[in-house]
Amino acid sequence: MKLFYTELVKLKNTFALWLTLFGALFLPLLLFTSYLFEAKEFLPAPNVNPWYDYLLRTFNGCCFFSLGFILLIIGQILNIEHKANSWKHLFTLPVSRDKLYFNKLALVFAVIITFFLLYFIFAITAGHLLGRIDPPLGFSHGAVPNGYILRFLLDFFVSIIPMIILQYWICIRLKNLVTSLGLGLFGLLMGLLLKNWDHIIYLPYATSFQMLNYKETDVLNRQNFYWVNAVYSCLFLALSYKDFGKRFQG
C-alpha cells in the first residue's frame, strides 16, 4: 500500500487527477445542456421511462469518449517516469520489479474506475436535476434502471481490460507520449472502422464498440465475449510482465 500511495502522490504534479474529474463531467454536462435547451426534442412518449433513452446516450458517449481518456491517462501515468528519466533509479531501489509493475497497473485501473464512477454519478445527478427543472421530461416520474447500468458497466469494463493492459505495455516501452497515444488512437480508429465486422471481438481496441446502442434486451454471445477477453487479458499481462521483468531497462 505504501508503494501504491507513493505512485498516487506522483499524480499530484500532473494533470491526471484534474483530467479524471473534468473528463467525467464533460459529457454529462453536455447532455444536461442539450436536454435543457432542446427539451422538446427529448419529450418521452406516454408511459415511457425517459431514463432508458437518456442512459443509451450516456452509454454511447462512454463508448467513444472514455476510450480516448483511457489512452491519455495511461500515457500520463507512465510518462512521469519517462519524463524524469527515473526508471533506472527505481530499479536500484530495494523494491522488486514485480511490485513496480503491478502497483503502476493498479494505479491505472484505480484512476479508470474512479473516472467511470464519477461519470455515472454526474450523469444520473444531471438526470435528476432535469426532472426537477423541467418535469415534462419525465425523469422525476420514471425509476432509474440500476440493473441496466450495472449490466452495461460489467460488459463494457470486461471489453476494455485487454486494451488497457496492451496500452500499458506500449506506454512502458515507448518513451514518447505522442507516439504511444498515436498507436492507441490508430487502434481505436481501426476498431471504429471495423465495428460491424463479424469478428470484431478478436480486436482488443475494437471490442468495446460492441457496446454501442446497448439495449437492455441485447444479448451478447457472452460465453465467447468473456472467454476471448479473459484470454487476451491473461496473454497481454503475461507478455508485458515478462518483458518488464526481464528485458526492460528504462
Mean pLDDT score across all residues of the chain: 86
| pLDDT average, residue stretch 184-192 | 89
Residue in 64, 67, 78, 66 with CA at minimum distance from that of residue 170? 78
Give the other-Cβ count within 10 Å of 193's Cβ.
11
pLDDT at residue 219 is higher than 60: no
DSSP category for residue 138? -
What is the pTM (predicted TM-score) of this model?
0.90
Q: What is the pLDDT of residues 101-136, one digit of tens each?
A: 998 999 999 999 999 999 999 999 999 999 899 888
Q: How far is CA 49 from the centre of its chain?
A: 27
Give the other-Cβ count within 10 Å of 157's Cβ.
16
pLDDT at residue 247 is higher than 80: no
Q: What is the pLDDT of residues 12-24, one digit of tens each?
A: 777 888 889 999 9
**CA dist., res. 85 & res. 180, Å (int):** 17
pLDDT at residue 216 is higher than 70: no
Q: How many CA atoms lie within 13 A of 188 on its CB side?
A: 21
The pLDDT of residue 217 is 58
Q: How many CA atoms lie within 13 A of 248 on its CB side?
A: 24
Helix, strand or coil for residue 188? Answer: helix
Instruction: Compute CA distances 149 → 84, 115, 202, 236, whole Å.
Output: 40, 15, 25, 28
Q: What is the pLDDT of residues 43-55, one digit of tens each?
A: 888 888 889 999 9
Residue in 54, 70, 89, 90 with CA at minimum distance from that of residue 20? 70
pLDDT band at 166 (very low <50, low <70, confident <90, very high): very high
pLDDT band at 65 (very low <50, low <70, confident <90, very high): confident
Question: By mean pLDDT, which of 116-125, 155-164, 209-218 is the weakest?
Answer: 209-218
The pLDDT of residue 212 is 82
The pLDDT of residue 235 is 95
